[in-house]
Copies of this chain bind each other. A is one copy, B any other.
């Protein structure tokens, strides 16, 4: 399990082996969850931080009118709810999108680790900066891109993230998102997401089906998306 964790540990490349081992060793309570299980639900008591070892999850908020907006995707190696654990305020829920293996890192362990190894605080901070960049690129998508461009952009982002943790082969990777999930992430309706996906397939640019993505014309896709992957650092380079 440590292995799976350390292998995928993204954004933490500047940690030394001792620190990675400490982090991995502090994880408790390894569990396998089905798709659609909640790690955290608005209104729960916050406590541990979750780490995803296998599978995908997403964070989302529900609006007064019942609408759902997905605000983040979490892939293997990602920490799930640092926000919630640190700020002690649950302002969103987290749900698995696939069968997933997760471990929890109890608050007390995390505090102790951070005290012992200041470098870990930096690692969390930097990882947070990457997440922030992703959020901001979503803002740009939602604010200024049309539906096809949004879909294309998200596919680019997720493909690169999968590649960065070694889970993508050549222009192809697992992409376990239903059209409904995609719609809730992109601020569109499932109906319209469907039409967009068909048009991208018809244009032989990319195809998303049976939970996997095939990029047929990478340059074309990136161009439609206006995608510049610079904000997705495979690892954050230390500045100390």
Chain A interface residues (CB < 8 Å from chain B): 61, 63-64, 67-69, 71-72, 82-83, 85-89, 91-92, 107, 111, 114-115, 118, 121-122, 124-126, 128-133, 135-136, 138-140, 142-145, 185-187, 226, 228, 230-231, 233, 236-237, 239-240
Contact = CB atoms under 8 A, between A and B. Distances in A.
30 contacts: A63-B140, A63-B145, A72-B136, A83-B129, A83-B132, A86-B239, A87-B126, A87-B130, A87-B233, A87-B236, A89-B230, A89-B231, A91-B228, A91-B230, A92-B136, A107-B239, A111-B239, A114-B122, A114-B240, A115-B240, A118-B121, A121-B121, A121-B122, A125-B128, A131-B132, A132-B132, A135-B135, A135-B136, A142-B142, A143-B186
A140 B87 contact: no
A125 B110 CA distance: 15
Given A71-B140, A88-B239, A89-B231, A83 B121 contact: no
A76 to B, nearest CB: 21
B143 A132 contact: no
A186 B139 CA distance: 9
Contacts of A88: 237, 239
A87 B142 CA distance: 24
Given A67-B144, A87-B236, A142-B143, 10 more contacts: A61-B140, A83-B133, A86-B129, A86-B239, A87-B233, A124-B125, A125-B125, A128-B128, A128-B129, A142-B142
